[in-house]
Structure 1
Amino acid sequence: MPDDKLRLAEALEKKAKEEGFAAVGIAPAALAPETRQRLQHWLADGRQGDMLWMESRADERSNPATLWPDVRSIIMLGMSYAPGTDPFALEGVPDHGRISVYAQGKDYHDVVKGALKRTAGWLVGQAECEVKVFVDTAPVMEKPLAAAAGLGWQGKHTNIVSRDHGSWLFLGAIYTTLDLEPSTPGKDRCGSCSACQDICPTGAFPAPYKLDARACISYLTIEHKGPIPHQYRKAMGNHIYGCDDCLAVCPWNKFAQAGAANKAFLPRAELAAPALADLLALDDADFRHVFSGSPVKRTGRDRMVRNALIAAGNSEDASLIAPVQALLNDENEVVREAAVWALDQLSSAQP
Structure 2
Amino acid sequence: MKQFLSFVTKEFYHIARDKRTILILLGIPIVQIILFGFAITTEVKDIRMAVFDPSKDEVTQKIIDKLDANEYINVVSVIDHPEDIESAFRKGKADIAVIFNQHFSDNYRHTGEASVQLITDGTDPNTASILTGYVTNILMAAQQEINVQYKSPLSITPEVKLLYNPGMKGAYNFVPGVMGLILMLICAMMTSISIVREKEMGTMEVLLVSPMKPIYIIVAKAIPYLVLSCINIITILLLSVYVLNVPVAGSLTLLFGISLLFILVSLTIGLLISTIVKTQVAAMLASGMVLMLPTILLSGMIYPTENMPFLLECITHIIPAKWYIICVKKIMVEGLGFTFVLKEVGILLVMATVLLIISLKKFNDRLE
Q: Give the structure with the higher percent helix.
A: 2
Which TM bucket (shorter chain)?
under 0.3
Normalized against structure 2, the TM-score is what? 0.26
Of structures 1 and 2, the one with the larger relative CO (CA 8 A, separation 6+) is: 1
Larger Rg: 2
TM-score, structure 1 normalization: 0.27
